[in-house]
Amino acid sequence: EQQLARRLLFSATNFGQSTNPGIRRRVRLPQEYLARMLGVSRQTVNKALRALERERVLALHYAEIEIVDMAALIARAGAVDPGLRQSMVMPVAE
C-alpha cells in the first residue's frame, strides 16, 4: 500500500489535474498500468484502491483516480520531504 500511495502522489503531483476545491487531484491512471509499474496484479491494485476509497482517501472513476484527502495519502506514503509534503497539500493556483 505504501508503494501504491507513493506512485499516486508522484503521478498526482507531476501529471494530475486539480479539481474543485483545488486540493483534490485527478490522475488518469488505469489500474492495469499501475499494477505493471508496481510489479503486482491488477487485482492486488484494485483491492488496495478500494480500501483507500472506503477510507475516503480516494474516489475511483473509470481510468481515473481522484485524490480526495491528500494529507491522508501523504501519510500512507510514509516519510516524504517536508517541502514536498507542503506543496502537495497546498491548493494549486489556476
- Give the pLDDT of the chain (94 residues) as one tens digit per residue: 899 999 998 888 777 666 655 567 888 888 999 999 999 999 999 999 999 999 999 999 988 899 999 889 999 998 555 555 444 444 433 3
pLDDT of residue 94: 36
pLDDT at 23: 62
* Nearest one of 18, 3, 2, 5 to 87, comparing CA atoms: 18
The residue assigned the cell 491522508 is 72
- Give me 68's grid cell: 480526495
**CATH number for the domain running over 2-81:** 1.10.10.10
Please tell me whether the overall predicted TM-score, pTM, comes out greater than 0.95 for this model.
no
- Pairing of the two strands 58-61 and 25-28: unpaired
pLDDT in the model for residue 92: 39
